[in-house]
Structure formats: C-alpha cells, structure tokens
C-alpha cells in the first residue's frame, strides 16, 4: 500500500500495531523491521494527517494549532506543545541532540533527590550512538561531556567568537552543541544547515525529520500506514492486549494484533490507557518538563554571530555535581540567532543565552479523561516546584561570575520564565516496581506483557538536556530487547 493511502483494516491479525509516527514509533519501527520476516504485517495508526514541508512553510504554526485542539488544558497559564501529524514532534523540534549524563539516570542514589531510572547510561550508550548516526548528528567527537564509544557522523558546527572564549575559560565545562542540523550536506537527503535561525520549521528542510529521513520505513511492503486514525483504546482481555479501537472519518474501527505499541506523546499515551480501563495509581501522573530563563550578555569589544548554526554551545558549568543535592541542574545554551544590540557601534556585541532548569516531577501534575469530552485528555499542572527557586537563585548569583571570564559590560537575566520547552514528559513512567511505575525498564507494561509504551511519557525525571535523542535511544533499546 502506498504511504498514507486509505485502506481497509482487516479482521486478520497484525504482527504488531504501532500508534504514532514520531520519534518514538519511527525509531522502534526501524529496529523492528530489521528482524521481521518478509511476510510480517505491521499496522501503524497516526491520529493526524501528512503535511508536506511546502505546506508547513505556507501554513506556519498550523500543526501546533491543530494539536492544541486535541487536549483540554485545565491550567492554561502553563502551555503544553505537542504535534499530531505524520512525523510527530520532528515537524517542529529545534534538532538539539545532547545525551543525558550518567548521573541523570541516578539522581536518588547519587544525590538523594527525585528518583533513579531503571536503566543506566551504559545500557543506552550504544543506542545513543545508533540514533546519532540515523539522524546524522553534528557534534564534537573528541570533546564531549558524556562517555562515547563511536564518533559523531558529522563534525561540530563552528563556534561564535564568545563561544571560543568560553571554551578557553572552561575547557571541561563548555562544548559545541550536538544537533541534527547537519554541518555538511547529507547525500541524497538534506542540505547543510543554512544558519538562518528559524529552526522550528527549517526553510530548506535541512534538519532531521521523520518525513525527510525515515519515510521509507512507511513504504516498506510489510507496513500499512493509516492516517487520520485516532486510537481511542487498547482492547484488553485476560491480561493481554488483543488490539486497538480507533476512529477514522467518524467511524469506529478495530484492529487485532499480537503486539501493541503506544508511541504517541505524553498526553495521548496515558489517555489511551485510561480509556482502556487501566487503573494503575501512577497512570497519567508526574507530567513534567524543564523550564528556562533567558539572559543577555552585553559584550565589551567582542562581536558575536559568526557561528555555524542557531545554537552553538552548551555550558555544563552549573549542570552536574554535589550542588544537585541542594538545587537542580542548569544547562546553558549559547544562541547564534541574530538579535542585535540597539547601540551604535555595538550591534553584534551581544550574546544570548537560554538557561534550562531541571524540574522534579509532581504527582499532582497529571492527565485525565476530560469529563466533557472523553475523546480528549484533560491536562492539569500543579505549578513549579520549590527546587526551581533554588536553581534560579544560584543562576542569578553564578552566571555573572561565569561570564566575567569574557570581556563583559553587563549580564541581564530575564525576570519571566519561558514556560515551556515543548517537552511534555512523564505520565506512563518506567521503573522496576510495578506498584510505583507503569512500564518496566524495557518499556513493557508491567501487567500487560504484549503492550509497550514508548516515548517521553516513560521518563521518570527530566534533566535539562533535550530529551529527543534519549527517546530515540530508548525505542531502539526496547525493540532490541523485544527481538532478542
């Protein structure tokens, strides 16, 4: 069947039914197809439609508005950004691909805060590397803050001049940002990054997306893709997932399968399980993401904006260490998006920073079935935790000191938070204890053993590193375990 064609979902059983086409589902499908027999049948159900890159350019923010109608936000002062379209979040992400640090997986045992993950960095390291090569990530192979067993497929982007000064001042704390915005053209797929700073919707389709780099998965003859097919619930019987119930063109349909894989976002995954009758006490709980503060560094005689892409540097000076016993980690991004300084002769003497702050999950931030419309999740946010205040206080004290290594006139930290990083996480968390987690370390449902739940919904905590690469690595890890 051609990708996106509307075809009959038959009564015959599928070997696997996969929900969603974003990072989680696509990387899982990539690994699954490598070992599936030639006559296997995989059904993929995507709630949204397929919107080509040209359409997205002509209709900016349209996908975000479409997705916003798919849930009800009970606390609108806290926005949540998700995507409902073929390719999921890859349509709008900024293509930032740092790994998590080893200690991010062990916050409780190392620092006595939050909780530990049921997997360690070493277990995911090879899958991180595979995901980086699938995305053609540009990064600093010989100068990385995390242990690596293989190089990046592309060299890191060029630093700005202030980045180079920060690297000289903090050789073990400042690094080129890894990203899936290629520093060199990817033959047959994508051009090199054009460095225009509009990366949520790349004008030349350079950054990695599912559409421009993994669409062939959905043309595989073993795969049947159905668009505009909203999965409502999993058919559960005698402790097994028998298939799914979905709605297409206003009509309810059913599909049967030996394996069911939920790879939607952290709002939709728990909503589907709640509508399926899953009554786990932690289901839908611990919805969270990072928060961030912007800062402007007024430089003294040093010009900026010579870098090779929109975000050039990552500062780990306030990230990991014993201070995490007292306050969360902070990751400092240096931006190359040109916002000039409004002073004659000093137009480029400005460095823009985004300081991303870890936030601990709160059980009261949750996803439920909306009472007024059961087809949509209702989202509640319990507010920022007190730990964020400690991080902000540290940032206001430490950032001017860190920047004093540069020729600087002033450091101005914003008063208002950037309320969303577009990283909805938690709600179907992973763990070893079935009483306190919904899925096990390999993302298999503790009780329903032929049901997997992928993606950011499995995250027990959220370090300041962007989560997308970890989502992809976890999907490869889960598929590898399943096939083994």
**Which helix H or strand E contains 295, and what residues bound it?**
strand 291-299
Question: Each residue of 62-91: pLDDT tens digit?
Answer: 999 999 999 999 999 999 999 999 999 999
Most distant pair of Cα atoms in the chain: their distance: 73
Confidence grade of residue 12 (pLDDT, cut at 50, 70, 90): confident
State CA 332 to chain mean position distance: 18
pLDDT > 70? residue 148: yes
Tokens of 365: 């931030």
pLDDT > 80? residue 465: yes
Confidence grade of residue 7 (pLDDT, cut at 50, 70, 90): very low
Q: Burial letters for 19-39: b for 16+ Cβ neighbours within 10 Å, e otherwise?
A: bbbbbbbbbbbbbbbeebeee
Question: Each residue of 239-279: pLDDT tens digit?
Answer: 999 999 999 999 999 999 999 999 999 999 999 999 999 99
The mean-pLDDT minimum among 45-54, 204-213, 301-310, 415-424 falls in 415-424
Confidence grade of residue 3 (pLDDT, cut at 50, 70, 90): very low
251-256/240-248 β-pairing: antiparallel
CB 432 within 8 A of CB 225: no
Question: Each residue of 179-224: pLDDT tens digit?
Answer: 999 999 999 889 999 999 889 899 999 999 999 999 999 999 999 9
C-alpha to C-alpha distances, 396 to 316, 414, 415, nearest whole angstrom: 16, 10, 10
Q: Give 152's contacts (C-beta < 8 A, 6+ positions apart).
A: 132, 137, 138, 139, 140, 141, 178
Environment class of residue 155 by beta-carbon count within 10 Å: exposed (0-12), middle (13-18) or buried (19+)?
middle
In angstroms, the CA 316 to CA 331 distance is: 6
Instruction: Report the share of the chain in percent with pLDDT over 90.
Output: 95
- Cross-strand bridge partners of residue 179: 96, 138
Architecture of domain 16-483: 3-Layer(bba) Sandwich (3.50)
CA distance between the termini of the chain:
29
16-19/42-45 β-pairing: parallel
pLDDT > 50? residue 6: no
Residue 322's nearest CA partner among 105, 12, 149, 103 is 103
Instruction: Report the share of the chain in percent with pLDDT over 70.
Output: 98
Residue 307's nearest CA partner among 344, 345, 333 is 333
Place of tokens 């979905």: 246
Q: Give 295's contacts (C-beta < 8 A, 6+ positions apart).
A: 352, 353, 354, 355, 399, 411, 412, 413, 414
pLDDT > 60? residue 111: yes
- Segment 288-314 mean pLDDT: 97
Residue 132's nearest CA partner among 183, 208, 200, 203 is 208
Question: Each residue of 394-409: pLDDT tens digit?
Answer: 999 999 999 999 999 9
In angstroms, the CA 172 to CA 143 distance is: 9
Mean residue pLDDT of the chain comes to 95
Beta strands in 316-415 (DSSP E): 330-335, 350-357, 366-369, 377-380, 408-413
Q: pTM of the prediction?
A: 0.97
In angstroms, the CA 360 to CA 375 distance is: 29
Environment class of residue 138 by beta-carbon count within 10 Å: exposed (0-12), middle (13-18) or buried (19+)?
buried
pLDDT > 60? residue 11: no
- According to the model, what pLDDT value does residue 9 have? 65
């Amino acid at each position: 069947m051609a990708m996106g064609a509307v075809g009959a979902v038959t009564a015959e059983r599928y070997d696997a039914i996969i929900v969603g086409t974003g990072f989680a589902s696509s990387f899982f499908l990539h690994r699954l197809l490598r070992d599936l027999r030639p006559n296997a049948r995989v059904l993929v159900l995507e709630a949204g439609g397929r919107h080509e890159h040209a359409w997205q350019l002509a209709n900016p923010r349209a996908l975000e508005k479409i997705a916003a109608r798919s849930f009800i936000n009970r606390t609108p002062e806290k926005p949540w950004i998700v995507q409902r379209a073929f390719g999921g979040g890859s349509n709008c992400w900024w293509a930032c691909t740092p790994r998590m640090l080893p200690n991010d997986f062990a916050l409780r045992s190392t620092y006595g805060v939050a909780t530990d993950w049921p997997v360690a960095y070493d277990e995911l390291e090879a899958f991180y590397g595979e995901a980086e090569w699938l995305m053609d990530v540009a990064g600093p192979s010989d100068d990385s803050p995390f242990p690596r067993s293989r190089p990046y497929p592309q060299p890191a982007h060029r630093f700005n001049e202030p980045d180079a000064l920060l690297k000289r001042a903090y050789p073990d704390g400042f690094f080129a940002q890894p990203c899936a915005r290629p520093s060199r053209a990817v033959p047959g797929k994508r051009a090199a990054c054009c460095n225009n700073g509009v990366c949520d919707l790349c004008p030349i389709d350079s950054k990695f997306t599912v559409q421009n780099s993994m669409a062939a998965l959905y043309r595989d003859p073993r795969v049947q893709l159905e668009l505009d097919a909203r999965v409502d619930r999993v058919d559960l019987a005698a402790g097994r997932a028998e298939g799914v119930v979905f709605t297409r063109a206003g009509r309810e349909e059913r599909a049967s399968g030996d394996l069911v894989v939920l790879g939607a976002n952290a709002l939709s995954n728990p909503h589907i399980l709640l509508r399926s009758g899953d009554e786990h006490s932690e289901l839908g709980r611990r919805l969270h993401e990072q928060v961030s503060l912007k800062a402007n560094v007024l430089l003294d005689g040093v010009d900026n904006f010579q870098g090779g892409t929109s975000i050039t540097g990552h500062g780990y000076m306030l990230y990991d260490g014993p201070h995490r016993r007292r306050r969360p980690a902070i990751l400092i991004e240096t931006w190359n998006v040109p916002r000039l300084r409004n002073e004659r002769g000093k137009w480029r003497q400005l460095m823009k920073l985004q300081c991303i702050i870890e936030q601990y999950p709160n059980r009261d931030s949750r996803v439920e079935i909306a009472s007024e419309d059961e087809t949509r999740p209702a989202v509640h946010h319990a507010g920022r935790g007190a730990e964020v205040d400690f991080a902000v206080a540290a940032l206001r004290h430490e950032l001017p000191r860190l920047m004093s290594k540069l020729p600087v006139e002033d450091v101005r930290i914003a008063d208002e938070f950037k309320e969303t990083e577009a990283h909805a996480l938690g709600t179907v968390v992973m763990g070893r204890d079935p009483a306190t987690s919904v899925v096990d370390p390999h993302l298999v449902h503790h009780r329903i053993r032929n049901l997997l739940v992928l993606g950011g919904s499995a995250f027990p905590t959220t370090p300041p590193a962007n989560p997308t690469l970890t989502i992809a690595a976890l999907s490869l890890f889960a598929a590898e375990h399943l096939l083994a």
